[in-house]
Amino acid sequence: MIKPHGSDTLNPLFVLDDTARAELAEEAQSLPSIIVSSADAANAVMMGAGYFNPLTGYMNKADALSVANTMHTTDGLFWPTPVLCLVENTDGIHGQSRIALRDPNVDGNPILAVMDVEATETLSDADMETIAQKVYGTMDMEHPGVEAFYDQGRTLLSGPIQVLNYSYFEIDFPNTFKTAYQIREDIAKAGWNKIVAFQTRNPMHRAHEELCHMAMDRLGADGLVVHMLLGQLKPGDIPADVRDNAIRTMADAYFPPNSVMVTGYGFDMLYAGPREGVLHAVFRQNMGATHFIIGRDHAGVGDYYGDFEAQTIFQDEVPDDALDIEIFEADHTAYSKKLDEVVMMREVKDHTREDFVLLSGTKVREMLGNGEAPPPEFSRPEVAKILIDYYSNL
């Protein structure tokens, strides 16, 4: 199986031993504590689950700026986005070397992780601007990722962590949330050697489905892992439980048995376009995928990124030896009326825009909200029904 990023074996930061975890949880109750942001908590979950291997905790200021500027930590580890614990104030933990991090997304704010604080630093205006500009490519506060970044605070806590639980993800998505090490175990049990990963924060329409088929066929893959984001999204995005139902329905109906794993991960979307595309590749390697599909406007939002910047960053900025996972570059896929099938638009000749079934996201939402199913060339009827039911109850 493909090696994890940065180490020979996966080293999740979740305390796997039941006795040790119980002892740590008891100790944590007596530690000074702080309620962290949703983004901080999501980073802890990803480190706990092994997706952010080989990180051992939150980055300090020097590493954060180095990663923003060069996509490497100060000791040379390739990493595309800073992994931070930013807080507004440290009144309850000031001067403490060992603290408990409390979950902002679960009632009662239970302890999520224990942290050994190695440094408490302040990010200046210039630091914030550097990180925002390098990671998100913009300083526009209308960008949801930039807005979320600035909303967290300026005080940076860094140091190793030990993770006690996976926040609300295990509870709310018991059949979907999987850690990187659990997915590796499932891949080994399935006997797959070549594995394609598909990232989604949306339901999968016909073009997404056919893109996965194309990738599997062209690569000779043994299996597909549909890996959906389960964390915080921007307003207007479809909730994870609805997406989960729609994707499972599609996979069961239109893929061969035992060829698809439908799973999810606990992270808040950054909407960081190219940089987030690279991050997605890192943690797909950590979960055992050998290939990762990156298509048009991957991890983008609005008009902040070019259609294929999340592909060209691998050619222009990611060193050849940085990652073992391979990228499957996909063009915009759409249904061809001439060929009566879904195709990559760049691969067909003698087509005009009118020869494809193309619908904007706004148009699709409008149709679904009116109880109208998009054409079957765009969305499978089983999927459309699930989405119509969701929109009718808003």
Domains of the chain: 18-170 (3.10.400.10), 175-392 (3.40.50.620)
Nearest to 39 by CA among 89, 129, 103, 91: 103
Is 202 part of the annotated catalytic residue set? yes
CB 247, CB 262: distance < 8 Å:
yes
Rounded to the nearest 5 degrees, what angle is found at the Cα of 152, between the Cα atoms of 172 and 62? Answer: 115
Among 202, 248, 296, 365, the active-site one is: 202
pLDDT in tens, 190-222: 999 999 999 998 889 899 999 999 999 999 999
Q: How many CA atoms lie within 13 A of 324 on its CB side?
A: 18
CB 275, CB 145: distance < 8 Å:
no
Please state, as a whole number, how many other Cβ atoms lie within 10 Å of the Cβ of residue 108: 6
Q: Which two tokens stand for residue 367?
A: 């149709």
Q: Tell me, what's the pLDDT at 191?
A: 97
Is 21 part of the annotated catalytic residue set? no
The model's pTM is 0.94
CB 60, CB 120: distance < 8 Å:
no
The residue behind tokens 């073009």 is 207
Q: Is residue 261 helix, strand or coil?
A: strand
Low-confidence ranges of the chain (pLDDT < 70): none
Among 21, 98, 154, 201, the active-site one is: 201
pLDDT in tens, 303-352: 999 999 999 999 999 999 999 999 999 998 999 999 999 999 999 999 99
Q: Which two tokens stand for residue 248?
A: 């499972």
